């Protein structure tokens, strides 16, 4: 019987909210068993770019990453946010280790090809060093991954944190019974975006297709849900979407996704 593994991705808005940030890390520290945390940098990359006089360019909500922007992402994701998380988790008794995809050759990627838009130094994941991550978990460490990968040629790449979480969960599913948690500011996937309490408790593949057809899942939820079902189709046992409360034992208010 496989050991259980939880892969938890925390959203940018939780990182920005100091009280919410402390709360989600406290809940994460109390989760039993093997676990991995994945984070981005919230709006801090945009804030730092403005301070340094570097224009932030976005297309359809996705950041264009030139060389200067990548340097800031490395500073914020791999430095400021990563080390704050690691230090707070150590204080909570979790032996955390901050990682990018380059550390231990954990996540390799290639620069996204230019189709309609040149996203610059943005990576699409090629492979995950599941054995190396397994050895870290086996040694009692809790890996904390930021939204950076590498191409094996010395180049770091800015990579979507939701995608990193899904690919980590998929890669680790050979060795573990893996649950993927997407933790953001909403209580779950909502039937009505105007009603915070209209959480859909369970979505399977058929229900997902229907929600897409009726336009209930749209905009920013589309790529997140794509990652959810990509993970499920690749041996991840379960995916949960909701706010930090879903990490509490016995809290029923979130969305569970299965095939």
Residue count (the chain):
259
Q: For domain 3-257, give its CATH number from 3.90.1300.10, 3.90.850.10, 3.40.1160.10, 3.10.129.10.
A: 3.40.1160.10
Residue (of 181, 120, 180, 121) closest to 150 by Cα position: 121
Return the domain boundaries, the chain: 3-257
Which band of pLDDT confidence, cut at 50, 70 and 90, is reported for residue 42? Answer: low
User: If you average pLDDT over every residue of the chain, what do you get?
Assistant: 94
Alpha-carbon distance of 90 to 69, in angstroms, equals 30
Tell me the pLDDT tens digit for each residue of 111-124. 999 999 999 999 99
Q: According to the model, what pLDDT value does residue 82 have?
A: 97
Q: According to the model, what pLDDT value does residue 15 have?
A: 86
Has 108 been labeled as part of a binding site?
no
Phi (first) and psi of residue 229, to 5 degrees: -75, -25
Whether 28 and 82 have beta carbons less than 8 Å apart is answered as no
Q: Which pair of structure tokens corresponds to residue 181?
A: 């948690």
Q: Which pair of structure tokens corresponds to residue 105?
A: 């050759």
Alpha-carbon distance of 29 to 37, in angstroms, equals 10
Tell me the pLDDT tens digit for each residue of 11-35. 888 888 888 899 999 999 999 999 9
Has 160 been labeled as part of a binding site?
no
Q: According to the model, what pLDDT value does residue 17 have?
A: 85
Has 123 been labeled as part of a binding site?
no
Q: Is pLDDT larger for residue 144 or for residue 218? A: 144
Has 79 been labeled as part of a binding site?
no
Tell me the pLDDT tens digit for each residue of 59-78. 876 789 999 999 999 999 99
DSSP for the chain reads -PEEEEEEEE-HHHHHSHHHHHHHHHHHHH--SEEEEEE--TTHHHHHHHHTT----EETTEE-B-HHHHHHHIIIIIIIIHHHHHHHHHHTT--EEEE-TTGGG-EEEEEPPPSSS--BSBEEEEEE-HHHHHHHHHTT-EEEE-SEEE-SSS-EEE--HHHHHHHHHHHHTTTEEEEEEEE-SSSSSBSSTT-TT-B--EE-HHHHHHHHHTTSS-TTHHHHHHHHHHHHTTT--EEEEE-GGGGSTT---SEEE--
Which band of pLDDT confidence, cut at 50, 70 and 90, is reported for residue 168? Answer: very high
Full-model pTM: 0.96
The torsion of the CA quartet 86, 88, 93, 98, rounded to 10 degrees, works out to: 0
């Amino acid at each position: 019987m496989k050991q259980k593994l939880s892969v938890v991705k925390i959203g940018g808005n939780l990182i920005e909210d100091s009280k919410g940030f402390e709360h989600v890390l406290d809940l994460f520290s109390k989760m039993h068993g093997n676990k991995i945390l994945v984070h981005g940098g919230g709006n801090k990359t945009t804030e730092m770019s403005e301070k340094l006089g570097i224009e932030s360019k976005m297309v359809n909500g996705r950041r264009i990453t030139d060389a200067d922007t990548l340097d800031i992402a490395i500073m914020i994701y791999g430095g400021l946010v990563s080390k704050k998380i690691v230090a707070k988790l150590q204080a909570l008794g979790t032996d955390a280790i901050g990682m990018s995809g380059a550390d231990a050759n954990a996540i390799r990627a290639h620069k996204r090809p230019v189709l309609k838009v040149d996203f610059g130094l943005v990576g699409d994941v090629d492979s995950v060093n599941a054995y190396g991550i397994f050895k870290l978990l086996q040694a009692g460490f809790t890996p904390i991954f930021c939204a950076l990968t590498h191409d094996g040629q010395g180049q770091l790449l800015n990579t979507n944190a939701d995608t990193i979480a899904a690919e980590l969960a998929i890669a680790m599913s050979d060795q573990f019974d893996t649950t993927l948690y997407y933790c953001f500011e909403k209580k779950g996937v909502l039937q009505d975006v105007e009603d915070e309490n209209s959480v859909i408790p369970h979505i399977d593949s058929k229900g997902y297709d229907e929600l897409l057809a009726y336009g209930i899942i749209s905009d920013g939820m589309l790529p997140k849900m794509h990652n959810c079902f990509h993970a499920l189709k690749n041996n991840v046992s379960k995916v949960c979407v909701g706010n930090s409360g879903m990490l509490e034992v016995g809290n029923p208010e979130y969305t569970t996704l299965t095939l």
